[in-house]
């Protein structure tokens, strides 16, 4: 069974020095302002957005600062996850988009000064609000069901709770993953915030995720 869902898990494998399947990289324009993008999201608050509209709402280097560059796509084969370690997560891995099967999706990733390590990875999903809520509940419940799981032969991952700031969005989810690999130990935090028909998902080292999550939420038109 191949673990293909969510750039977060690809980032874990990259951090641990594992090979992964390439994930799409955004070509989102850097000229659109956050205010203009937010206004577009507000105008379409009751209906799911197209992938074209979602691309305009992704974080850019203008938001993050000049020290960030686009992260290169990974290469190689995907890593297997043992169903014995985490059956709920392994079940989601059977589908390329996990529980977000009907949602429009775009993604982008950045690294600090192009340095190796865990990138900032952002995903935007758009669907009916109730569908996004159910999908996010299913995803984060799958992680909560596992105190730990493995990636490949040498990487173990422990799951612990994390909370997104309560002032953001309509609904919020979060967790942190402690990654133990042959190259060392690192931590990745993933937050999700629903703003109407758009779900913002941000994965990064913990302090970085907390710092840039409000920016990501603001771009989709949710008041912080």
Is residue 209 over pLDDT 70? yes
Q: Which tokens go with 76?
A: 């190689």
61: domain CATH number is 3.40.1000.70
How many angstroms separate the CA atoms of 104 and 10, rounded?
A: 20
pLDDT band at 113 (very low <50, low <70, confident <90, very high): confident
Q: How many independent structural domains does the chain possess?
A: 1
Residue 85 lies in a domain: yes
Q: Do the domain assignments include residue 2?
A: no
Domain of 85 in residue numbering reads as 7-219
Quote the CA–CA distance of 187 and 159 in Å, as a whole number.
Answer: 10
Query: Are the C-beta atoms of 49 and 188 separated by less than 8 Å?
Result: no
22 contact partners, CB below 8 Å, separation of at least 6: 73, 74, 75
Cβ partners under 8 Å of residue 29, min gap 6: 55, 56, 60
Q: What is the pLDDT of residue 181?
A: 85
Give 170-192 pLDDT, tens digit per residue. Answer: 999 999 999 898 888 889 999 99
In a domain, 201, yes or no: yes
The CA distance from 69 to 48, in Å, is: 29
Domain assignment present for residue 119? The answer is: yes
Calculate the CA dihedral of residues 120, 171, 124, 14 and round it to 10 degrees. Answer: 30
Give the pLDDT confidence of 124-162 residue by residue, as tens digits.
999 999 999 999 999 999 999 988 888 777 788 899 999
Give phi and psi for 134, each to the nearest 5.
-65, -40
DSSP 86: -
How far the first Cα of the chain sits from its last, in Å, is 40
């Amino acid at each position: 069974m191949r673990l293909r869902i969510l750039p977060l898990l690809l980032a874990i494998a990259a951090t641990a020095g594992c090979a992964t399947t390439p994930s799409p990289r955004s070509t989102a324009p850097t000229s659109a302002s956050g205010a203009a993008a937010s206004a577009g999201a507000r105008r379409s608050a009751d209906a799911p957005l197209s992938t074209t509209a979602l691309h305009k709402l992704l974080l850019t280097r203008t938001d993050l600062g000049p020290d960030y560059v686009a992260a290169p796509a990974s290469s190689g084969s995907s890593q297997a996850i043992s169903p014995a370690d985490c059956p709920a997560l392994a079940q989601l891995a059977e589908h390329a988009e996990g529980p977000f099967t009907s949602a429009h999706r775009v993604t982008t990733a950045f690294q600090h000064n192009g340095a190796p390590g865990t990138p900032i990875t952002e995903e935007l999903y758009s669907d009916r609000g109730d569908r996004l809520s159910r999908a996010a509940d299913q995803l984060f419940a799958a992680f909560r069901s596992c105190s730990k799981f493995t990636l490949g032969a040498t990487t173990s991952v422990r799951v612990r709770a994390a909370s997104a700031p309560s002032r953001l969005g309509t609904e919020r989810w979060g967790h942190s993953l402690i990654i133990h690999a042959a190259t060392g130990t690192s931590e990745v935090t993933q937050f999700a915030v629903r703003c109407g028909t758009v779900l913002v998902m941000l994965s990064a080292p913990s302090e970085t995720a907390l710092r840039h999550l409000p920016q990501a939420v603001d771009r989709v038109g949710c008041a912080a």
